Amino acid sequence: MGEAETQTRESGEAAERDADLVRRLKDGDARALDELFRRHRDAAYRVAYRLLGNAEDALDCVQEAFIHVMRGIDAFRGQAAFRTWLYRVVTHAALDYRRYRAVRKTASLDTEEAREPAAAPARQPTPDQEVAARDLGAAIDKALENVSEKNRAALILYTEGLSYKEVAEALGISVGTVMSRIYNARARLRELLASEIG
Amino acid sequence: MDCDELKALLAACADGELAPMERETVQSHVAECGRCRQDLENQRRVQHVLDAVEIPPVESGRWNAVAKVLRRELEGKVAPVELKTRPRVEGLDESPAEPAAPEREPGSEAAAPRPVPAVLTMPRGRPRPRRPRAWWVAHAVGALAAAAILVVGLSTFFAPAGGPPIEPASIARRADVEIHGIDVVDPDYSVIYSAGDANDVAVIWVVPTASQG
């Protein structure tokens, strides 16, 4: 049996297991919730981390996403795989969280400005200095911040193992749009990380 | 296909997501076009770097804490967690974008609208607690028992009380039929055979024996 066939079979078995756990969760089975959480928490965290660039926020986001899943589980009809649906919820939660965080940061800056209105603006490090001060992972996190939300979401979901079709389902877009978003996200990253990846 | 049209396929080609015919189109183009060949290589290289990046792991204690919050939420033992994000499941393109925090220039604080924290937009109603399967089974059995009692009671209450006895002669008179015979087939009921004037209609009645009077 080829590697691709083995992967397909394992993926099918995982999806069936998820479907069974979802049915039990709909009946209020707490052990099904525990298992679903254990099975998907790491992947959900990686998606959230790449979208938020921060471990604490990513962890909060995963918790929120699973609560959304629990509250909306009756509406999940199983037309897509649970994993795809969860990634969709995590992606939305992370993007919402970014906006929430931006508003909070703006409010915080306002307070600081009110306290020290005459303070000189902080010296901003140049992009070269920033990149030199960080390792590659941090540089990529920083670069991802400068890729548009939609393009970044498509690229991250693909990086976390979803096929183009699954990314399309998760984001509610066509496969053609997934192709162009992933292309644009990588092209932008290539531009931002020219000195790191050559 | 020119370079601009091909761009949309380059990422999918790098990821092995193209159908054979499309892949062949891309491959024959990049064999002759140095710029697209470089573009395709860049797509692969960026993905390779992304795949290699390690995400900081989460301590198991933190996961346990999150699992505990989820379990308590499921069991409805605590007030629902107030979320900072909205419970949306629709596509990113279909949902209206949350207005971004407005850019503020120094000295314009008073005029700029105050951003509303996303947390204030969250629904605050307590969700219906999730019931275990045994709860639903017990309620279903109770409902069936109540329905059975109701049906028995109603049928007893509305059961026919017998009514006035039927006189065969009055039947013949009122229906303009001739009575051909009466058989007592049961202590309580009799069968009456009759026919119309032209003998073209046969009628059989089953009436209480008492009504033969």
- For each of chain B's 213 residues, which pLDDT tens digit applies? 788 888 889 999 999 999 999 999 999 999 999 999 999 999 999 999 999 888 888 998 999 999 999 998 888 755 666 676 666 544 344 333 333 333 333 333 333 333 333 333 333 344 455 667 788 888 899 999 999 999 888 877 776 555 555 555 655 565 566 666 666 666 676 666 666 555 565 666 666 655 444
- Please identify which residue in the block is written with the tokens 């974008």: B97
pLDDT at A119: 39
Banded pLDDT at A74 (limits 50, 70, 90): confident
- Please identify which residue in the block is written with the tokens 């017990």: B138
Each domain of chain A, given as residue ranges in start order, spans 10-122, 126-193
Angle between helices A164-171 and A175-192 (to 10 degrees): 100
pLDDT at B94: 39
Q: What is the signed CA dihedral for A147, A150, A153, A155, rounded to 10 degrees?
A: -70
Which token pair is A78?
A: 């199983």
Each domain of chain B, given as residue ranges in start order, spans 1-86, 168-212
d(CA B81, CA B106): 37
d(CA A115, CA A36): 47
B71 touches chain A (CB under 8 A): yes
Beta carbons of B8 and A179 less than 8 Å apart:
yes
Neighbouring CB atoms inside 10 A of B130's CB total 21
In CATH terms, A10-122 corresponds, of 1.10.600.10, 1.10.1740.10, 1.20.120.160, 3.30.70.640, to: 1.10.1740.10
pLDDT at A75: 84
Which chain B residues are closer than 8 Å to A42 by Cβ?
58
pLDDT in tens, B67-109: 999 998 888 755 666 676 666 544 344 333 333 333 333 333 3
Short-list B13, B89, B96, CA closest to A84: B89
Q: Which of A27, A85, A197 sits opposite B49 (nearest CB)?
A: A197
B32 touches chain A (CB under 8 A): no
Q: Which of A34, A45, A173 sits opposite B93 (nearest CB)?
A: A173
pLDDT in tens, A135-155: 778 888 889 989 999 999 999
Q: How many CA atoms lie within 13 A of B67 on its CB side?
A: 19
Average pLDDT in the A87-105 region? 83
Mean pLDDT of chain B, nearest integer: 70
Q: In degrees, to the nearest 5, what angle opens at C-alpha A186 toward C-alphas A183 and A191? A: 125
In CATH terms, A126-193 corresponds, of 3.40.50.2020, 1.25.40.20, 3.40.50.1970, 1.10.10.10, to: 1.10.10.10
What's the longest Cα–Cα distance across chain B?
115
d(CA A166, CA B191): 76
Give A13→chain B minimum CA distance, Å.
23
B103 touches chain A (CB under 8 A): no
Beta carbons of A96 and B85 less than 8 Å apart:
yes
What's the longest Cα–Cα distance across chain A?
71
Q: What is the DSSP letter of B49?
A: H
Beta carbons of A186 and B42 less than 8 Å apart:
yes
A189 touches chain B (CB under 8 A): yes
Tell me the ipTM for this assembly.
0.76
DSSP secondary structure string for all residues of B76-138: T-SPPPPPSS----S-TTTSPPPPPPPP--TT-TTTSPPPPPGGGGS--PPPPPPPPHHHHHH
Q: Closest residue of B to A52, CA-based? A: B55
Neighbouring CB atoms inside 10 A of B41's CB total 13
Beta carbons of B70 and A183 less than 8 Å apart:
no
CATH class given for the domain over B1-86: mainly alpha
Q: Which residues contact A112 (CB under 8 A, 6 or more apart)?
A: none
Which chain A residues are closer than 8 Å to B121 by Cβ?
none
d(CA B202, CA A27): 62
Q: Which of A67, A72, A186 sits opposite B43 (nearest CB)?
A: A186
d(CA A57, CA A34): 21
Give A88→chain B minimum CA distance, Å.
7
Neighbouring CB atoms inside 10 A of A164's CB total 22
Beta carbons of A92 and B85 less than 8 Å apart:
yes
Selected residues 174-193 of chain B with any CB under 8 Å from a CB in chain A: none
Q: Which of A59, A71, A107 sits opposite B87 (nearest CB)?
A: A71
Q: Closest residue of B to A96, CA-based? A: B85
Beta carbons of A136 and B83 less than 8 Å apart:
no
Q: Closest residue of B to A86, CA-based? A: B89
Does the pLDDT of residue A9 top 60, yes or no? yes
